[in-house]
A and B are shown apart, each in its own frame.
Chain A
Amino acid sequence: QSVLTQPPSTSGSPGQSVTMSCSGSSSNIEINYVYWYQQFTGTAPKLLIYRNDQRPSGVPDRFSGSKSGTSASLTIRGLRSEDEADYYCSAWDDNLGGQWLFGGGTKLTVL
């Protein structure tokens, strides 16, 4: 069971915006950076957002991240069919000597 909690699924129509959440705790999200990864079926994940709200080069500005307290969120504006994928949040957790945590992932369906 993932310590970072994500809704298992969400959906939206092309052109719309969707926001997916990631809930953690005082030992991870509240005090450390949050990262987001996008994964298409059968491929390795891709870094989408780092340090809460930073986009790597090449990631469209339709993707944005934010963090508040023990939760974080990923927003995708102007949904496109090619955005249909699994999205994972991740954060370092300071407990038990330190470990990277991943959320359970949110499956985005573009209707």
Chain B
Amino acid sequence: QLQLQESGPGLVKPSETLSLTCSVSGGSISSGSFYWGWIRQSPGQALEWIGHFSYNGNTYYSPSLRSRLTISVDRSMNQVSMSLTSVTAADTAVYYCVRGSGSGVAYWGQGTLVTVSS
């Protein structure tokens, strides 16, 4: 069974960089027609797509985050990572690592809460 596990600091200071890693087990990020990415949810708010790395080698970013965001994959470690620079309190959210396809986002990590505060 595929499992996704997010890891990273739970607290980040304003203006600093938020970095998260998703470790994938039970399947390879190099196989299949899937995309691997991130979705976040601010407290009490709706889901917000951040971006993803596609099986075709393309990376897609939310237009609102594109200037601050980098998503990368480490095939040797079977990990997906994201880096968001110059964070503010508005970036406080639960961040989910996900695997999706044309059949939807069927796999979600448990989510990790990141708080931006000094």
Contacts and interface: CB of A to CB of B under 8 A. Distances in A.
Contacts, number: 56
A20 B96 CA distance: 25
B55 interface: no
A47 B105 contact: yes
A70 B111 CA distance: 31
B102 A51 contact: yes
A44 B108 contact: yes
A2 B105 contact: no
A36 to B, nearest CB: 9
A33 B52 CA distance: 18
B77 to A, nearest CB: 23
Secondary structure call for the A interface: strand
Interface residues on B, range: 10 to 19
Interface string A75-111: 0000000000000101000001111111111000000
Interface in B64-114: 96, 102-106, 108-111
Contacts of B103: 47, 50-51, 54, 56
Contacts of B46: 2, 88, 102-105
A9 to B, nearest CB: 13
A99 B104 contact: no
A51 B105 CA distance: 11
13 contacts: A2-B46, A37-B47, A37-B105, A44-B96, A47-B104, A50-B102, A90-B47, A90-B105, A99-B49, A99-B62, A102-B46, A102-B47, A105-B47
Interface of B: 46-49, 52, 60, 62-63, 96, 102-106, 108-111
Interface of A: 2, 33, 35, 37, 39, 44-47, 49-51, 54, 56, 88, 90, 96-105
